[in-house]
Amino acid sequence: MNSPVDDAKDAADSVQDSGAYRFLVRGGLVAFGVVHFLVGVLAIRVAMGSGGGEEASQGGALRTLAQNPLGPWILGAVAVGLFVIALWQAITAFIGHREFDGAKRVGKRISSGLRTILYGFLGYQALRIALGSGQQQGGGEESMTARLLALPFGGAIVALVGLGIVGYGIYQIVKGVRDKYNDDLSRPLHGRKKWVARIGLSAKGVAVGIVGSLFIAAGLALDPEEAGGLDQALQKLKEMPFGPWLLAAVAIGLAAYGVYCFFWSRRPKFT
């Protein structure tokens, strides 16, 4: 008689083999790519000084979709897609990455577990905007940081969160430069597609790293206003020497990450 764990693994395998499930996962990856491509477009507009107050972030991209006449329906579809790929990564965290052994398999499954949280949060955000709530811009990171700073050793906690975010950004850059994204694909990328993936992952890593540095600054200064999300990170980049050019380069890279997601949707790994 199978144990409950074995039964759960068998059920997960059955889901993975479903044609409808695989179709929905591919659609979810397309939705994730659309969000990142729009972030890149919004960031390019900010770099050119024509952003008109738009927020160059994932939330900003979702709100841009909401402005379409069919916005709520489009966002609803995006939310469903993001929830599906969250489920996909949850199953992968449970039974996936079987081609790896030992610590590498554990690390890959932890990474899939973290993606589950990311995709699920984005799906929740898209659903809220589709239903007419969550329309306000920004502020979320600052309020979260303020709550953390109110805890004992809050400054150290926020700084450690920032270090973790910076570490994730570095991981994204390494993943792109060393072509480790192929571990997530059923077939490796070649030629121009490989360079799109490298540029996209590296740009995303840079942007995430700047977000982490803002959290570190907030923790050291004990000031929640120092913290910020992707939009604030890109604004900081614009304020640097040659900032608009640097921001434009990162923006193009973020759009490239969206294109990479379209490639990913053609060859997702289901085991």
For the entire predicted model, the pTM comes to 0.84
The contacts of residue 241 (CB under 8 Å, 6+ apart) are none
Tell which wins on pLDDT, 94 or 177: 177
Q: How far apart are CA 259 and CA 195, in angstroms?
A: 11
Q: What is the pLDDT of residues 210-231, one digit of tens each?
A: 888 888 888 888 777 777 677 7
Side chain identity at residue 110, one-letter code: I
Reported as a pLDDT band with limits 50, 70 and 90, residue 173 is very high
Beta-carbon-side half-sphere exposure of residue 68 (alpha carbons within 13 Å): 14
pLDDT of residue 142: 61
Q: How far apart are CA 56 and CA 253, in angstroms?
A: 13
Q: What is the pLDDT of residues 36-79, one digit of tens each?
A: 998 888 888 888 776 555 667 777 788 777 787 777 888 888 88
Helices marked H in 48-70: 58-66
Q: Across residues 179-185, what is the average pLDDT?
A: 92
Q: What is the pLDDT of residues 2-12, one digit of tens each?
A: 666 665 676 77
Q: How far apart are CA 156 and CA 162, in angstroms?
A: 10
Q: Across residues 255-270, what is the average pLDDT?
A: 93
Q: Across residues 250-265, what is the average pLDDT?
A: 94
Q: How far apart are CA 80 and CA 69, in angstroms?
A: 19
Q: What is the pLDDT of residues 231-245, one digit of tens each?
A: 777 777 788 888 788
Q: How far apart are CA 250 and CA 262, in angstroms?
A: 19
pLDDT of residue 64: 79
The answer, yes or no, to whether residue 140 has pLDDT greater than 60, is no
Reported as a pLDDT band with limits 50, 70 and 90, residue 196 is very high
